[in-house]
C-alpha cells in the first residue's frame, strides 16, 4: 500500500513539473449565449436552492461555456465533427491537472482520464509545454461548480472541477463528474437536448425556475442522436430535478417515459407480487426453511431460497446442470443471435432504473451480447421486475421461453437490497444468459475448501458441483468472478465461513464489476470469443 501511494505521489510530481503554466485567476468569465445570460440575482438563486454542482455555474444548460456562434450551431443541431476547428487533432488531448488539488482529488481526476483512454479512441496525454491547445483542469472558485467549454476552443482551455469545501459544491466525490465535463470538452452535449428526446422523456416546465427554461430547449436535427438509441443511463443526461423551483417540494422536471419502445404498459404481462419459480426436487424447501433464511439476514442472493439461492431451475434443467452440460449444446436455452429483448419495470424509481440500465450497458459494451428494449412483438424477453416473493435477487438460467422474470428487489425496511450498485444486476443477467455460479465448477475443490459443517444442513446440496470439466470453459478458476459465492453464504452462524479460498489474500463474492473471465465465458458460450475486448489479453 505504501509503495502504491508513493508511486501515485511520484507520478503526480512528474506530471505537475512546472512548465510555464498560464495564470488562472480564482474568478473567470466564460462565454454565455445571449439567450441564456443571467443576472447576478439569478445566479445567487441557483446557489440558494441547493442545485446540482453541474447546475450552479449558471452557464448554458448549467455547465457549458458557449459563444453565441457556437450556440447557434448547437441550436440547429450541427455536430462538432463538421467543424474541424472544434475537434482535437488526431483525437489527442493535452492536459494539465492543477497542482492545487490534493492527492485524493488528483487521483479522482486521473482515474476519469484513464477511463476515457481505455474505453474510447481518445488519448489524453500530459501537456508537453509546447502544444498550443490544451486543457487546464482547475479548481476555479467562480463560477461555482463543475463546467467546461464544448469541444476544442483554442489555447489553454478551462475544465473547472471544484473540490468540496464548506460553502461550495463537490465535483470530485468520484470520477463521474470529471468524465462528464471531459466529454463536454471533447464535443459531446447533454443527452436530453437530442432532437428526439420528447419520445423518451417528458419535460415539466411548470416545475422549472422560469429564468432557466431555455436550458431545456432541444436541437433540431436528427444527427444529434449519432444514430444511437436514447440513453437514459448516459453520464451526459440531466438529473431528474435539475433547475427545479425552490418551493420545498422535490417536483420532477424530467420524467422518464418508461417502456417507450413499447408505447404503453398494457403490452407488458401482468406480474403478480408473489411468484412460484421452479425449484429442483432435491433443493426444494418448506416455508419455514425459507423464512429462516430471511430472519438470519442472509445475502440477497441467498434469501430467495431457490436452487443455490437465486437460480430458478426445473428438474430437467437441474439434471443437465448436475452432469455439467453447457447450455450451448441446447439451442432452446440460448438467446438467438446473442440478442436479449428486455423490459425494465416502471415500478422502479429513477435511481434504481439507472442502476439496472448501467448493468445492461456494461454487458453490451464488455461482451458480444446485445440487450435491446423489447419491441412488443418478440415472444421471448426478460421482465426485470421488483418481485416481492421470493424475496431478493434471482433469475432463470438461460432462455426459458416467453416473458421471463429477472427479480431485482429495491431496498425497503423489510426486504433485501439488490440495487446498491449494478453488480447484482449483472450477476442475475449473467444467469439469464446461461452462466452458473463459479464455485460449482467440476474442478473447484482444487481452489476452495467447502466447510460443510458450517452450512445450514438443509442447504448443503447448494454446494454440490458439476461433474464435467467443460464447465470450466477452459479458463482458470476465477476467485474474482461476479458469479462466485461469498465466503459466508448459507452460514449457520455469522462469522463462520462456508467457503475458504486456498489462495491467500483473496476475497470471494465481489459484486462490484464483471471480471475478465466472466466476459470471456459469455463470449465463449455464444460463439464469439474472438470479439471479446479481452480475447488478446488471456
Q: Which residues are catalytic?
A: 181, 428
pLDDT digits (tens, 9 = 90+) for 196-236: 888 888 888 888 878 788 888 888 776 667 778 888 878 88
Q: In 466-507, which ranges are continuous DSSP H helix?
A: none
The dihedral through the CA atoms of 330, 336, 339, 341 has a sign that is negative
Measure the CA–CA gap between 93 and 113, rounded to whole angstroms: 10
Q: Exposed, middle or buried: residue 10 (CB in 10 Å: 0-12, 13-18, 19+)?
A: exposed
Confidence (pLDDT) at 1: 40
Residues paired with residue 499 on neighbouring β-strands, in sequence order: 450
Measure the CA–CA gap between 57 and 516, rounded to whole angstroms: 40
Is 204 annotated among the ligand-binding residues?
A: no
Three cell numbers written together for 239: 438529473
CA of residue 449 relative to chain centroid, distance: 33
Domain 2-30+79-189 of CATH type 3.40.390.10 = yes
3-state secondary structure of 65: strand
Spans of all domains in the chain = 2-30+79-189, 193-256, 265-538
Could you tell me the end-to-end alpha-carbon distance of the chain, in angstroms, rounded to an integer?
27
232 and 357 in contact (C-beta within 8 Å)?
yes
pTM: 0.56
On average, the pLDDT of the chain sits at: 82
Measure the CA–CA gap between 161 and 109, rounded to whole angstroms: 9
Is 190 annotated among the ligand-binding residues?
A: yes
Three cell numbers written together for 335: 438467446
Q: What is the 3-state secondary structure (H, E, C) of 135-159?
A: EEEECCCECCCEEEECCCCCCEEEE
Measure the CA–CA gap between 384 and 203, rounded to whole angstroms: 26
Is residue 69 within a helix (H) or strand (E), and if so which, with residue range?
helix 68-76
97 and 124 in contact (C-beta within 8 Å)?
no
Measure the CA–CA gap between 108 and 224, rounded to whole angstroms: 30
Low-confidence ranges of the chain (pLDDT < 50): 1-18, 248-251, 256-267, 536-538
- CATH code of domain 265-538: 3.40.390.10
Is 144 annotated among the ligand-binding residues?
A: no
3-state secondary structure of 394: strand
Confidence (pLDDT) at 327: 79
Measure the CA–CA gap between 460 and 474, rounded to whole angstroms: 27
- Domains 2-30+79-189 and 265-538 belong to one CATH topology: yes
Amino acid at each position: 500500500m505504501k509503495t502504491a501511494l508513493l508511486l501515485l505521489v511520484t507520478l503526480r510530481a512528474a506530471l505537475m513539473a512546472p512548465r510555464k503554466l498560464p495564470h488562472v485567476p480564482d474568478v473567470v468569465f466564460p462565454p454565455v449565449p445571449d439567450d441564456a445570460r443571467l443576472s447576478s440575482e439569478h445566479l445567487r438563486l441557483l446557489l440558494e436552492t441547493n442545485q446540482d454542482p453541474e447546475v450552479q455555474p449558471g452557464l448554458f444548460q448549467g455547465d457549458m461555456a458557449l459563444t453565441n456562434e457556437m450556440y447557434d450551431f448547437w441550436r440547429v443541431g450541427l455536430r462538432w465533427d463538421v467543424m474541424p476547428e472544434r475537434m482535437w487533432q488526431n483525437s489527442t488531448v493535452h492536459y494539465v491537472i492543477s497542482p492545487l488539488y490534493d492527492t485524493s482529488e488528483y487521483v479522482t481526476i486521473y482515474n476519469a482520464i484513464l477511463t476515457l483512454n481505455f474505453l474510447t479512441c481518445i488519448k489524453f496525454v500530459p501537456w508537453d509545454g509546447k502544444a498550443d491547445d490544451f486543457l487546464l483542469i482547475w479548481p476555479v472558485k467562480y463560477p461555482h461548480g463543475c463546467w467546461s467549454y464544448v469541444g476544442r476552443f483554442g489555447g489553454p482551455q478551462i475544465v473547472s472541477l471544484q473540490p468540496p469545501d464548506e460553502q461550495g459544491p463537490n465535483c470530485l466525490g468520484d470520477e463521474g463528474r470529471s468524465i462528464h465535463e471531459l466529454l463536454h470538452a471533447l464535443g459531446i452535449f447533454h443527452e436530453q437536448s437530442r432532437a428526439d428526446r420528447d419520445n423518451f422523456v417528458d419535460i415539466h416546465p411548470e416545475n422549472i425556475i422560469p429564468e432557466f427554461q431555455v436550458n431545456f430547449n432541444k436541437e433540431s436535427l436528427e444527427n444529434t442522436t449519432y444514430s444511437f438509441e436514447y440513453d437514459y443511463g448516459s453520464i451526459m443526461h440531466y438529473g431528474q430535478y435539475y433547475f427545479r423551483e425552490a418551493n420545498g417540494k422535490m417536483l420532477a422536471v424530467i420524467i422518464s417515459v418508461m417502456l417507450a419502445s413499447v408505447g404503453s404498459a398494457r403490452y407488458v404481462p401482468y406480474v403478480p407480487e408473489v411468484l412460484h419459480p421452479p425449484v429442483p426436487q432435491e433443493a426444494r424447501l418448506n416455508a419455514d426453511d425459507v423464512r429462516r433464511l430471511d430472519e438470519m439476514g442472509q445475502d440477497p442472493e441467498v434469501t430467495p431460497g431457490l436452487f443455490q439461492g437465486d437460480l430458478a431451475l426445473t428438474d430437467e434443467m437441474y439434471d443437465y446442470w448436475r452432469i455439467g452440460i453447457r447450455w450451448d449444446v441446447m439451442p432452446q436455452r440460448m438467446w438467438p443471435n446473442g440478442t436479449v429483448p428486455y423490459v425494465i419495470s416502471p415500478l422502479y424509481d429513477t435511481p434504481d432504473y439507472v442502476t439496472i440500465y448501467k448493468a445492461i450497458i456494461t454487458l453490451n459494451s464488455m461482451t458480444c451480447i446485445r440487450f435491446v428494449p423489447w419491441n412488443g412483438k418478440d415472444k421471448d424477453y426478460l421482465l426485470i421486475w421488483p418481485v416481492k416473493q421470493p424475496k431478493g435477487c434471482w433469475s432463470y438460467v438461460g432462455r426459458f421461453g416467453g416473458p421471463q422474470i429477472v427479480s431485482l428487489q429495491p431496498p425497503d425496511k423489510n426486504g433485501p437490497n439488490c440495487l446498491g450498485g449494478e453488480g447484482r444486476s449483472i450477476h442475475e443477467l449473467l444467469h439469464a444468459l446461461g452462466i452458473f455460479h463459479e464455485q460449482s465448477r467440476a474442478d473447484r475443490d482444487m481452489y476452495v475448501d467447502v466447510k460443510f459443517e458450517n452450512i445450514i444442513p438443509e442447504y448443503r446440496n447448494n454446494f454440490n458441483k458439476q461433474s464435467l470439466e467443460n464447465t470450466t470453459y477452459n479458463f482458470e478458476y476465477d476467485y474474482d468472478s461476479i458469479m462466485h459465492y461469498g465466503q459466508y453464504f448459507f452460514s449457520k452462524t455469522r462469522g463462520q465461513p462456508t467457503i475458504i479460498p486456498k489462495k491467500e489474500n483473496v476475497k470471494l463474492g465481489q459484486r462490484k464489476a464483471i471480471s475478465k473471465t466472466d466476459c470471456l465465458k459469455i463470449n465463449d458460450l455464444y460463439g464469439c470469443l474472438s470479439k471479446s475486448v479481452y480475447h488478446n489479453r488471456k
